[in-house]
Structure 1
Amino acid sequence: MGTEGEGVRVVAGRYRLETRLGRGGMGVVWRATDELLGRQVAVKELPFDDTLSDEEARQRRERTLREARAVAQLRHPHIIVVHDVVEDDGRPYIVMELIDGGSLADRISARGPVDADEAARIGIGLLSALRTAHAAGVLHRDIKPANVLMEAGSDRVVLTDFGIAQVAGATTLTETGSFVGSPEYTAPERMSGARTGPESDLWSLGALLCTVLSGESPFRRDSLGGILHAVVFDEIRPPVQAEPLLPVVRGLLERDPERRLGAAQAEHMLRAFRDLGRTPQPSLYTPTQRNVPRPP
């Protein structure tokens, strides 16, 4: 059982929750202290919702545990580190490394868009992280600025919140007929209900690059229906600020996933831009060069 008092709650007899860092659809994240090891950590708590049926509550709990399992198997400097998974009073908590500095969305909101060199640096880090995740059979499925952390001091880019990840060999837990994710960053094949692979994460990264360069997603509209139409049908118009990285952005925002730019080549092109000041056009490559197996 957790303990409370003087505004402090301790879960699993070890993690003292201190300050709420953020809240999203998949839970509340707290700054906490690991009282056993004496270190600061981040703890993600699945909030209790008494409107859910027992089956829905079970699915939410298993989805949270799946996030921990998915991320715990990954080792990469640009992917959040999971330290522990505990249960307290029937509720799961994920214990992660604490990243001070806020999200990429916070940074854009406070300081505005970034220049092309910084966007390329962010993209390189995220592409490298996705290559590792995809090679392990893990699809993130919710790449967006709010799920990218920027470490203060080092400006390390860290991909987090694998709450709706799809893992090879695991049962899909998304409820039938429902949609999870962020529509402005969701690939058209997912919108259409088609089976998706690593390419869907790369579409999301293309939309993210447009956002960090201009301040908003190119698919932002006044309604959900408008967003869906923009993603699936409207002419794709990258912002003018994306011009220096246009070959990468257009390649990632290719509606046909079979023709979409692969992670390895996109990373190579962004590195070339940072080294040479210009972005090369995509070269011909075979599907095997993607190095990203499609989960079953």
Structure 2
Amino acid sequence: MGQARLLGNRYRLDSVVGRGGMGTVWRAYDVMLDREVAVKEVVLPPGLNDAERGVLYERTFREARASARLSHPGVVIVHDVVEESDRPWIVMELVLAPSLQDLLDQGPIEHRQVAEIGLQMLAALRHAHEKGILHRDVKPSNVLITDAGRVVLTDFGIAQVEGDATLTQTGLVMGSPAYIPPERAQGERAVPASDLWALGATLYAALEGRSPYERPDAMSSLQAALSEPVPPARNAGPLARVLDGLLAREPVHRMTAAQAQPLLTQVATLPPPPPPPPMTQTDATILDEPSGRSNRGTDAADTVLDPSEIEGITRHDATEGHPPGRPPSRDPQNRDPRTLLETDWAPPPGRTPHPQPRTPPPWEQPQQSSNWQQQLLPPVQNGPQSGPHGQGERRRTVLIVTIAVILVIAAVLVGAFILRQKLQSDAMAAPAGTTASAAPIATRAATGT
């Protein structure tokens, strides 16, 4: 790269650590402060005129300003912006960690870990929203997870700062179709609840392995977001209520950050599951190796380009009767769709969280849990008959009882046979005795004596 290897006579570019829709991220070294940093190189698409290049420049500096306004452990720190080689470069904190998408490619994640990741992402988004900044591109590949468990939200490349003008141009990033909330898919302006929907879709993907609207191509994902309900998460478990609340279609009915935090905390603090019993040789099974993600021509989880026509380099979204930077309410009762009342979240009226009634799992029915387990588990016996030796004793006892029963039945049959023979012999002897005693009587009657 020649002289471009040393940016601003200070940052030495060493190696590429990632590529995305907005550019390339380098691992670099700050020779002035003697520390490692990350440098994001903004790659400009070919064929842009001066006005379009100016829009991309403005968006790059907006990303740097938005990140620099945030001071939170869940957000990457921006150190500097350098303009060199006819493009801007953003110097950031170097976080060497896999993304949540990398972890998902290795296999499913346990509920407690998903809840902990969601808590840290929620804290970072709440901090950004308090500063008037919307991320607008929350997805697993923009979430880094360190070995120490720190969760870092990256890539504010399409962030929206309250009060700033909206940049509209062909080729500009609008988000990732598989993680775009329904109101954004309909062309409406993003609100804080939009980031919360994307958070719910990210947690959904952590449990199911894919987003609720992931399809083979970007247009299919957008069509699903516009018309299809969110399919129930089969592996939601104790996180089902959080997913139902964050993935509500209407922002006014969506769970707020304050309502989601205690539910995530409750799952994150659950006791770890008991270790599985040791496997015996007869119980051992061969597990299938996890298959990698299939290569697709167009990944619906990738950031795509805005198909809208150029409406000028910049335009102000000013709505009559509303303060700048704040969208008008779509609710007929004139409620702000960005926030909900700080009460327990309830499903939208007339609708249930799932398309079909769902039987609450045992952990939601403490009164019925014992009965449920008693019906499924056989009674456990304690004592000498619980082990292999007890099973042998049981078989011998059954054998002895069976033999005794057979002997008793045989004795009864023999006794009945002997009694029957005796009764028959007595019956035959009785008629003979009667005839002999009657003969003298008949003789005396004939002689008249």
| TM-score, normalised via structure 1 length | 0.88
Alpha-carbon contact 2:194-2:251 (below 8 Å) kept: yes
1:149 is matched with 144
CA distance in 2, matches of 1:179, 1:84: 23
Q: Give aligned-pair identity as a percent.
A: 49
1:223 is matched with 217
Q: 1:128 aligns with which of 93, 115, 123?
A: 123
Is residue 2:269 matched to residue 1:275? Answer: yes
CA deviation string 1:91-134 (max 9, x = no partner): 1111111111121112222x212111110000000000000000
Is residue 2:2 matched to residue 1:4? Answer: yes
Correspondence list, 1:249-288, <5 A: 249-276=243-270, 287=340
Q: Specify the SS of the correspondent of 1:180.
A: strand
CA deviation string 1:146-205 (max 9, x = no partner): 111112x31210000000000011111132797610011001101101222100000001
CA distance in 1, matches of 2:14, 2:45: 22
Change (3 A) 1:86 1:289: farther
Alpha-carbon contact 2:76-2:153 (below 8 Å) kept: yes
Correspondence list, 1:1-296, <5 A: 4=2, 9-109=5-105, 111-151=106-146, 153-175=147-169, 180-276=174-270, 287=340, 289=342
Greater strand percent: which structure? 1
Runs of 4+ in 1 over 4 A off after TM superposition: 176-179
CA distance in 2, matches of 1:41, 1:174: 31
Which blocks of at least 5 consecutive residues in structure 1 are unaligned?
278-285, 291-296
Q: Please tell me the residue identity of whatever aligns with 1:79.
A: V
Q: Let me know the Cα RMSD of the aligned residues.
A: 1.9
Alpha-carbon contact 1:122-1:157 (below 8 Å) kept: yes
CA deviation string 1:34-83 (max 9, x = no partner): 01011000000111433112111111111111111001010111111111
Change (3 A) 1:174 1:117: farther
1:294 is matched with none
Alpha-carbon contact 2:59-2:157 (below 8 Å) kept: yes
Q: Specify the SS of the correspondent of 2:252.
A: coil
Q: Please tell me the residue identity of whatever aligns with 1:201.
A: D
Q: Please tell me the residue identity of whatever aligns with 1:250.
A: D
CA distance in 2, matches of 1:106, 1:240: 21
Count of matched residue pairs? 276
Which blocks of at least 5 consecutive residues in structure 2 are unaligned?
272-338, 344-449
Alpha-carbon contact 1:131-1:264 (below 8 Å) kept: no
CA distance in 2, matches of 1:148, 1:66: 20
CA distance in 1, matches of 2:342, 2:79: 33
State the structure with more CA Rg: 2
Q: Please tell me the residue identity of whatever aligns with 2:96.
A: D
Alpha-carbon contact 1:210-1:238 (below 8 Å) kept: no
